[in-house]
Structure 1
Amino acid sequence: MEAFSWVIHKYLMHGVLWNIHKTHHTHGKGFFELNDVFTCIFGGTAIALILLGVEQLDYRFWIGCGISLYGMSYFLLHDVLIHRRLKWFDKPKNKYLKAIAEAHKAHHQTQKENAVSFGLFVVPRRFLKEEGNKE
Structure 2
Amino acid sequence: MNFVVNTAIVLLTIAGMEALSWFIHKYLFHGPLWFIHKTHHQERHGWFELNDVFSIGFAALSMWLMWQGHFTQDYRLWIGVGISAYGTIYFIFHDWFIHNRFKAFRTKNKYLLSIRRAHKIHHKSTEKNPSEEFGLLVASKKYFRR
- TM-score, normalised by the number of residues in structure 2: 0.84
Q: Does 1:101 align with 2:119?
A: no
- Aligned-pair Cα RMSD in Å: 1.0
Unpaired runs of 5+ residues, structure 2, are 1-16
Cα offset for 1:114? Answer: 2.1
The 10-residue stretch of structure 1 (98-107 or 111-120) with the greater mean CA deviation from structure 2 = 111-120
Q: Does 1:117 align with 2:133?
A: yes
Name which structure has the greater RCO, CA cutoff 8 Å, separation 6+.
2
Partner AA of 1:10 in structure 2:
K
Partner AA of 1:85 in structure 2:
R
1:8 match: secondary structure: helix
- Give the aligned length: 129
Partner AA of 2:89 in structure 1:
S
Partner AA of 1:41 in structure 2:
G
- Alignment correspondent of 2:11: none
CA distance in 1, matches of 2:76, 2:27: 24
Cα offset for 1:47? Answer: 0.3
Partner AA of 1:4 in structure 2:
L
Q: Does 1:16 align with 2:32?
A: yes
CA distance in 1, matches of 2:78, 2:129: 35
Name which of 83, 98, 101 aligns with 1:67: 83
Q: Does 1:77 align with 2:100?
A: no
CA distance in 2, matches of 1:58, 1:122: 30
CA distance in 1, matches of 2:101, 2:40: 12
CA distance in 1, matches of 2:75, 2:120: 36
CA distance in 1, matches of 2:104, 2:75: 34
- Alignment correspondent of 2:22: 6
> Percent of pairs identical after alignment?
52
Q: Does 1:34 align with 2:50?
A: yes
CA distance in 1, matches of 2:73, 2:103: 37
Cα offset for 1:28? Answer: 2.1
Which structure 1 residue ranges, 4+ long, deviate > 6 Å from structure 2?
none
CA distance in 2, matches of 1:58, 1:45: 16
2:137 match: secondary structure: coil
- TM-score, normalised by the number of residues in structure 1: 0.91
